[in-house]
């Protein structure tokens, strides 16, 4: 995709001195008032190729300076008109899941199971950020993760490689659009390559142990999808894999990323990751850091200055060939050319009409919310009811946007839950009685008794999630559990609306709640989406993108496990000596799970052929598997129909279930629709111990159902 810019990049490269080449590989933080003139002088000397528009590595939970287009144009003018090279600067910013309009965190958006909707939302993000001269976003994060204690699980798409792959493709295409030179396009960056989501113990930046078998089958698929979608850049991860830091690994950055996946863009380090090679014990000094990273295939260094300080001497001393530098510089130049920066280096600021963006923010927030409990069909509530609204998220705004919302508008632009509830109930007979800032008053029992139903706005702060925000125990705060207990004691029905960033362990609070809506950190219109769902204006249709454990001690717990030789597969059914003696082993809510205000009935799946030849599959033939889904309730509703497979006997142990397809459909009451999946070699194979993709003969179960625990199956044989 980017090879077509090779010739022009070569022509530019030939005009550069060695120092100027190295400058293109140097990314620095945005300047502050005190060092502005010094920064301009460095630009004139060709020492800076890119800026990251923030001033700290954990920008997601720290206030950042707003993007100033005039300043960026001023710096760009120095690069284009006052430097010898005339090469424009590349501006990157952590525009993760929204700019001024904020959309649900990645983990929540994946619960929509709607890649097309995600693509539309991410294109809106690109429009807003690109209008302010942000060329490049450090998103999407596509780390497959089994570790909800890890604060950054919020940014990814959960535990499943297929779902993450579909979302990765959607987000890359949403950000980049059809034309990278367009005014509403941003360069995407697939991160963190690779294995960062497997940090041991859920500790950020920590070590990982990942076999190649797990890497190729579970971790790499979203990156493969992002590369196929044309992602312009990739960010390397902090972690080591089996004692080998990714930042200095030719195996991961060159052999696999470029050789196996076919990536053509450039690789940027994470913040100070090159410097950390010394702390990780593979580099003795700054020069070692630069040499190891560059020769491994890391093209641009983020904020470390090891390249700019050492590469010239390393080349002149013969420790590094100048051709290695040239290769990295060409990759950076090709992306700058592809973005159209040479033709349009400046940005004329203009106002973006956010009307449609805000509508989409509410739509995806609503479709990402997951109804996980609804005893006696308590929800939806009637707007004629008297509602006691309590809890810490009654008045909350900032946390609704989640971590990594650097530029999200607050105030009236992000209504709180009380405002949304009052607006939804306006003009109706019912009313809201709310507490002061969610505090549990002594008179709450009396207040509860005077209302028809209790709605508790619960959750975790945005500051409890994100980078360097890991938790050893992922439960709601004790005062929230006590509030739920007291509400339940009133004898009234209790609805829990949980605004969270991770899949919390809910065993200690679930008995006190008659209905539970997982509202997530859902962005700008999260509160309205939740309120409208509570009152039935939206029929919930989200499905869990990650397993909800009962208690923290069950972690890691994920659905696509291999089968043990003993009865310890508690995910798929409790039994004697299955997992623990002090706890159930099964999840609180499994992967792909979510309730609706209507009900759906699945027919048994049928296939067009019970046997298929291996040669036929490899030649492109498919098995057609279909099931009919009927809305047996009284409301129109959406259902995500999920396809799973199980390979009974293979040369390598295979998962008990693997998601291989899904389709989200909408059915009116009484309506029935047939959903068809065409299953081919790309779904029925796996990477073996030699890292080769193989399809093998044998029996395969094909499941079509409402979540990963479905037993609605048909069996085929590959012969």
Per the CB < 8 A criterion, the answer to whether 198 and 146 are in contact is: yes
Burial class (CB in 10 A: 0-12, 13-18, 19+), 38: exposed
Q: Going by C-beta distance under 8 Å and a sequence separation of 6 or more, which residues neighbour residue 118?
A: 109, 112, 167, 170, 171, 174, 364
Q: Which of these is catalytic: 270, 299, 304, 407?
A: 270
Spatial strand order in the sheet of 189-193:
189-193, 233-236, 266-268
Answer whether the bond into residue 541 is a cis peptide, omega within 30°. no
Burial class (CB in 10 A: 0-12, 13-18, 19+), 322: middle
Concerning whether 270 is annotated as a catalytic residue, the answer is: yes
Q: Going by C-beta distance under 8 Å and a sequence separation of 6 or more, which residues neighbour residue 236?
A: 192, 193, 246, 247, 253, 267, 268, 269, 270, 273, 298
Residue 643, CA distances (Å) to 87, 118, 222, 654, 714 in order = 49, 20, 18, 16, 11
Bridge partners (DSSP) listed for residue 241: 208, 244
Residue 477, CA distances (Å) to 211, 384, 481, 598, 680 in order = 37, 32, 7, 32, 47
Nearest CA to 162 out of 649, 687, 644 is that of 644
Query: How many Cβ atoms sit within 10 Å of the Cβ of residue 244?
Result: 16
Per the CB < 8 A criterion, the answer to whether 263 and 233 are in contact is: no
Nearest CA to 4 out of 265, 260, 225, 229 is that of 265
Q: At what angle do helices 322-339 and 306-316 cross, to 10 degrees?
A: 140
- Terminal Cα-to-Cα distance of the chain (whole angstroms): 38
The 8 Å CB, 24+ separation contacts for 340-344 are 340/180, 340/181, 341/88, 341/90, 341/135, 342/87, 342/88, 343/181, 344/181
Nearest CA to 304 out of 321, 324, 287 is that of 287
Can you read off the two tokens belonging to residue 426?
Answer: 């306006």
Residue 255 phi/psi, 5° resolution? -60, -45
Give the sign of the dihedral formed by CA 146, CA 148, CA 152, CA 154. Answer: positive
Residue 494, CA distances (Å) to 369, 409, 451 in order = 18, 32, 11
Q: Which of the residues are catalytic?
A: 270
């Amino acid at each position: 995709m980017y090879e077509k810019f090779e010739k022009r990049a070569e022509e530019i490269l030939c005009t550069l001195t060695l120092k100027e080449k190295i400058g293109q590989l140097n990314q620095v933080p945005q300047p502050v008032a005190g060092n502005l003139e010094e920064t301009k002088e460095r630009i004139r000397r060709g020492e800076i190729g890119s800026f990251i528009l923030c001033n700290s590595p954990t920008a997601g939970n720290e206030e950042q300076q707003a993007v100033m287009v005039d300043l960026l144009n001023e710096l760009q003018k120095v690069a284009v008109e006052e430097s010898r090279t005339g090469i424009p600067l590349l501006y990157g910013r952590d525009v993760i899941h929204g700019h001024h309009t904020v959309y649900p965190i990645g983990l929540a958006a994946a619960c929509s199971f709607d890649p097309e909707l995600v693509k539309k939302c991410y294109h809106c993000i690109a429009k807003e950020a690109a209008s302010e001269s942000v060329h490049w976003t450090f998103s999407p994060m596509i780390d497959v993760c089994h570790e909800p204690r890890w604060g950054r699980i919020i940014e990814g798409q959960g535990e499943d490689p297929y779902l993450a792959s579909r979302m990765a493709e959607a987000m890359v295409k949403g950000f980049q659009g059809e034309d990278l030179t367009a005014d509403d396009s941003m360069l995407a960056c697939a991160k963190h390559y690779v294995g960062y989501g497997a940090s041991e113990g859920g500790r950020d930046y920590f070590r990982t142990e990942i076999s190649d078998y797990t890497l190729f089958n579970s971790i790499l698929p979203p990156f493969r999808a992002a590369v196929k979608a044309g992602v312009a850049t990739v960010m390397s991860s902090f972690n080591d894999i089996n004692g080998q830091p990714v930042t200095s690994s030719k195996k991961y950055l060159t052999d696999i990323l470029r050789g196996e996946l076919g990536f053509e863009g450039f690789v940027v380090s994470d913040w100070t990751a090159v410097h950390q090679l010394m702390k990780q014990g593979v580099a003795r000094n700054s020069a070692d850091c630069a040499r190891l990273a560059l020769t491994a295939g890391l093209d641009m260094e983020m904020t470390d200055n090891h390249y700019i300080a050492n590469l010239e001497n390393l080349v002149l001393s013969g420790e590094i060939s100048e051709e290695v530098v040239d290769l990295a510089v060409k990759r950076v130049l090709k992306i700058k050319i592809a973005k159209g920066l040479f033709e349009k280096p400046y940005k004329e600021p203009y106002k973006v009409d956010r009307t449609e963006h805000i509508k989409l923010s509410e739509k995806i927030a609503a479709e990402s919310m997951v109804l996980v409990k609804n005893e006696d069909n308590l929800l939806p509530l009637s707007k004629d009811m008297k509602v006691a609204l309590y809890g810490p998220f009654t008045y909350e705004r900032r946390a609704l946007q989640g971590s990594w919302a650097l530029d999200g508008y607050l105030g009236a632009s992000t209504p709180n839950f009380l405002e949304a509830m009052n607006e939804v109930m306006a003009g109706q007979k019912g009313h809201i009685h709310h507490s002061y800032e969610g505090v549990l008053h002594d008179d709450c029992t009396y207040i509860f008794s005077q209302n028809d139903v209790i709605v508790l706005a619960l959750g975790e702060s945005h500051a409890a999630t994100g980078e360097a925000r890991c938790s050893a125990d992922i439960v709601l705060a004790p005062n929230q559990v006590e509030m739920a207990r007291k509400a339940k004691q009133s004898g009234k029905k209790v609805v829990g609306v949980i605004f969270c960033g991770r899949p919390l362990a809910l065993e200690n609070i679930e008995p006190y709640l008659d209905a539970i809506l997982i509202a997530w950190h859902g962005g700008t219109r999260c509160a309205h989406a939740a309120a409208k769902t509570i009152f039935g204006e939206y029929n919930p249709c989200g499905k869990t993108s990650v397993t909800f454990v009962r208690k923290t001690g069950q972690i890691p717990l994920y659905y696509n496990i291999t089968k043990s030789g003993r009865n310890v597969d508690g995910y798929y059914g409790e039994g004697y000596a299955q997992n623990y003696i002090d706890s159930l082993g099964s999840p609180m809510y499994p992967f792909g799970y979510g309730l609706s205000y209507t009900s759906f009935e699945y027919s048994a799946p049928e296939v067009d052929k019970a046997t298929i030849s291996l040669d036929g599959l490899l030649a492109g033939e498919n098995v057609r598997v279909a099931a009919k889904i009927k809305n047996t309730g009284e409301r129109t509703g959406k259902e995500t129909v999920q396809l799973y497979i199980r390979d009974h006997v293979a040369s390598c142990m295979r998962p008990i279930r693997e998601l291989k397809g899904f389709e989200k459909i909408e059915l009116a009451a009484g309506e029935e629709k047939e959903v068809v999946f065409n299953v081919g070699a790309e779904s029925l194979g796996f990477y073996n111990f030699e890292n080769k993709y193989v399809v093998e003969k044998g029996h395969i179960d094909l499941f079509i159902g409402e979540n990963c625990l479905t037993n609605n199956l048909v069996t085929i044989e590959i012969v």
